[in-house]
């Protein structure tokens, strides 16, 4: 599906990841993109990276030419963006446009009130979108059509995978995939530290730990096997791996991970 008339408000890292994926996959042409920015450096980055795109500091004008608007700004300025006026005193006309927000914690009700209609999508992306391996959850308001959903999936799947969920489930998405990369970074760091403690050079330990996590994730995805089955396949009777698993269970690593997801989800709920 080809995306036309996209205006992105905010040109930071997550916008660069998501929109960059769309441009590189071919579902969006640079000539169909307008980026609203606040700093000259941001505008210069976009025009240098993607010649043919348009940059602007006028939100009102940029929205007026859009079919789809992505709100890629910090949550605390969403209200200001939705009510912004330009130098001529005009406010943005959000009507008739698909609104896609990646502002964490801003619910569909606030977004629909702000834009004056219910053709609104809320997305929780994650940072691996920067390397084309994102995992995004999204929910939609009542005015979003099947065609709109197909468009959203085209956008998000260009940088990874996406899942449609209900809005109450968005907090769980935050706990699993939104915050999840940080858990995995911690695991990689710990594996590498263990390798160093066992006698490996730091660079070698980190290289092996990183690729081990990558390979294990790829096995789960590509074999379709339950991770518990794959784990059991590595655990030979009386072997090295089952000895290690015993230590992990004794230290409640499994329970800690579950609690971490729940804590992140609960905090997301509080912030919303």
- Provide the mean pLDDT of the chain: 94
> What is the predicted pLDDT for the residue at 81?
92
In this structure, what DSSP letter does residue 117 have?
S
| CA 115 vs CA 38, 83, 176: distances in Å | 21, 9, 29
The yes-or-no verdict on residue 272 having pLDDT over 80 is no
> What is the predicted pLDDT for the residue at 104?
86
> What is the predicted pLDDT for the residue at 25?
87
Task: Give the pair of three-digit tokens for residue 199.
Answer: 């006698």
CB of 134 closer than 8 Å to CB of 157 = no
Residue 88 — φ and ψ, nearest 5°? -85, 0
**pLDDT digit string, tens, across residues 13-72:** 889 989 988 898 889 999 999 999 989 999 999 999 999 999 999 999 999 989 999 999
> What is the pTM (predicted TM-score) of this model?
0.91
Give the DSSP H/E element, type plus range, for residue 48: helix 40-49
User: What secondary structure does DSSP assign to 226-261, as a single string?
Assistant: -HHHHHHHH--TTSHHHHHHHHHHHTTHHHHHHHHH
The yes-or-no verdict on residue 264 having pLDDT over 80 is yes
- Classify 125 as helix, strand or coil: coil
Query: Sorting pLDDT into bands at 50, 70 and 90, what band is 2?
Result: confident
CB of 98 closer than 8 Å to CB of 121 = yes
Average pLDDT over residues 257-266: 96
What's the rounded Cα separation, in Å, for the pair 198 and 233? 24
**pLDDT digit string, tens, across residues 91-101:** 889 999 999 99
What's the rounded Cα separation, in Å, for the pair 160 and 17? 11
The yes-or-no verdict on residue 113 having pLDDT over 90 is yes
**pLDDT digit string, tens, across residues 127-186:** 999 888 999 999 999 999 999 999 999 999 999 999 999 999 999 999 999 999 999 999
> What is the predicted pLDDT for the residue at 90?
85
């Amino acid at each position: 599906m080809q995306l036309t008339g996209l205006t992105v408000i905010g040109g930071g890292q997550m916008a660069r990841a998501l929109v960059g994926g769309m441009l590189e996959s071919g579902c969006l042409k640079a000539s169909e993109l307008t980026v609203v920015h606040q700093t000259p450096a941001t505008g210069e980055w976009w025009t240098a990276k993607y010649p043919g795109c348009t940059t602007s500091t006028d939100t009102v004008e940029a929205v007026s030419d859009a079919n789809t608007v992505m709100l890629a700004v910090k949550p605390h300025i969403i209200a200001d963006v939705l009510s912004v006026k330009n130098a001529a005193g005009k406010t943005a006309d959000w009507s008739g446009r698909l609104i896609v927000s990646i502002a964490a914690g801003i619910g569909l009700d606030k977004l629909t009130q702000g834009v004056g209609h219910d053709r609104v999508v809320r997305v929780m992306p994650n940072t691996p979108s920067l390397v084309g391996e994102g995992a995004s959850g999204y929910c939609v308001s009542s005015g979003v059509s099947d065609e709109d959903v197909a468009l959203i999936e085209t956008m998000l799947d260009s940088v990874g995978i996406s899942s449609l969920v209900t809005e109450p489930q968005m907090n769980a998405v935050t706990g699993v995939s939104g915050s999840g990369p940080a858990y995995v970074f911690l695991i990689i760091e710990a594996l590498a530290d263990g390798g160093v403690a066992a006698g490996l050079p730091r660079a070698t330990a980190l290289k092996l730990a990183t690729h081990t996590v990558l390979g294990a994730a790829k096995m789960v995805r590509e074999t379709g096997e339950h991770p518990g089955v794959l784990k059991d396949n590595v655990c030979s009777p009386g072997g090295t791996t089952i000895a290690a698993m015993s230590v992990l269970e004794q230290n409640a690593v499994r329970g800690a991970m579950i609690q971490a997801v729940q804590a992140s989800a609960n905090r997301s709920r509080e912030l919303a």
